[in-house]
Structure 1
Amino acid sequence: MNILDKIIAHKRKEVARRKARIPIKLLEESLFFNTPVVSLSKYLQRPDKSGIIAEFKRKSPSKAAINLYASVEQVSIGYMQAGASALSILTDEHFFGGKNEDLTTARKFNFCPILRKDFIIDEYQIIEARSIGADAVLLIAACLEKEQLHDFAKLARSLGLEVLVELHHARELDKLSSAAQVVG
């Protein structure tokens, strides 16, 4: 079993627990659920911006600990001051040391678009992303079937979120959904 398979297996269990604990109705009542989003695709194209999506993460499976005690507030503000066009906030706790609260905190201190970076394998996570203040979600082609990717992108767009699709191989191009605004 490779690392991606391990992450997805763990994510299935994690999402099932969250779905049992916090129903979609509660997510839809969140402060952020109906607030306007900031366009990731437009910010990346602005001539007065760098075009860089700066990432916040505390650890990774390949590098282990990066900075387990990093402050999302300080780091995200620093990224913005340095000219980042957008922020990517890791919300996967087990493998990357992130949490949903990191994205919510970044939202409170930054006006730029914020991408929820996680291993999205369930529609619940897209609704959850909207509820915690994300402007865009990452959909990883390697984690999803073509139809799933299309359906998830469509759901994200219906909620006002933009979609960044992550591709690693040319063979994944056939999965690309027309609903994706950004490809990486």
Structure 2
Amino acid sequence: MNLPEGSLLQPFVAQRLEDLKKAKAKRSIGQLQGKIGEMPITRGFASVLAAHFVAKGEPGVIAEIKGASPFETNFRRPVNYRDFGEDFEAVGAVCLSVAIERKAFAGSIADLATVSQAVHIPILARDIVIDLYQVLEARHVGADAITLSVALLGDELPEFIQRATAVALDAFVEVHTVDELDRALAAGAKLIAVTNRDIHTFELKPGTCAELLPKISAGKALAVAEGDLGTAEDIAAMGAAGAKAVLMGIRLMKNRDPAGVLERALGVETLED
């Protein structure tokens, strides 16, 4: 784990470590592996995004469901995960991202399981991943992909990608700098998300996606844009920069009508009585 001194993620990582101790006491790695072996194949998170881009010629939206964010401390709301998942799918989200970490995102493993049973589109497990156990845990409850941060995992990234691949999860590898992008490509990442947010300082740098997305060859990895995105203009701009998908999180969830925000971003017209 690569956690520099002064990282604002420290309290969240500490909490995640405590939660993992409890999870491992309840269910061993061997037990998880046994259950996973009996599960159906995943829904193909990256392949669904790629197919949508080929068919539509524009980035698809990954809609994120969460009750809080470490990046905006004034954002916290009660969330009915099943309802939001069904609403986002109905509006036109190509995939979903579901927060499963409780201190930073006010989510849980149970929330992902609930959404997985309610929708038909692929789901990304949004977590602060620091332990290989989390990869198995996410797969066990119905995830199709898992978030891996180069800024957090450092040299451990290849091992985490391999473990995810071994259980048929797509590795959603997040990068914020040129160096992190180079590390992701060297590790063999096939699904790379450029984020405008520095996860250690929480600083938002809106130009990051525009700078890094063109550096991702379509033949090497599928590129995703994220970080304070939420409009039709964002989708168009990120598509022009090379993104094949756009993740929308805070811009959706801090609004009183998240599905409405997604409708407007996608240009969906709803019928009114």
The two structures have a TM-score, normalised by structure 2, of 0.62
The gaps in structure 2 that reach 5 residues or longer are 1-5, 194-273
1:101 aligned to 110, 122, 139, which one? Answer: 110
Paired-residue identity, %: 28
Between 1:40-49 and 1:159-168, the stretch displaced more is: 40-49
Q: Does 1:5 align with 2:10?
A: yes
Q: Which segment drifts farther, 48-57 or 67-76? A: 48-57
Match of 1:156 among 161, 164, 180: 164
Tell me, which stretches of 5 or more residues in structure 1 are unaligned?
Answer: none
Please point out which of 161, 180, 183 is paired with 1:175.
Answer: 183
* Rounded Cα–Cα distance in structure 2 between residues aligned with 1:172 and 1:50: 23
Q: Are the aligned partners of 1:32 and 1:130 in contact in 2 as well (CA < 8 Å)?
A: no
Structure-2 change in CA distance of 1:154 and 1:91 (3 Å): same
Secondary structure in structure 2 of the residue aligned to 1:60: coil
Please say which structure displays the higher CA radius of gyration.
2
**CA drift at 1:181:** 2.4
TM-score if structure 1 supplies the norm length?
0.90
1:22 paired to 2:27: yes
CA RMSD of aligned residues (A): 2.0
Residue matched to 2:86? 77
Contact 2:96 2:121 in 1 (8 A): yes
Contact 2:36 2:139 in 1 (8 A): no
Task: Encode CA deviations 1:36-87: one digit per residue, 9 max, x unaligned.
Answer: 1011111112225851110000011232364532111110111111111100
Using a 3 Å threshold, how does the CA distance of structure 1 residues 9 and 174 change in structure 2: closer, same or farther? farther
Give a deviation string over 1:83-127, Cα, whole Å, max 9, x none.
111000000011110000111011111111100010111110001
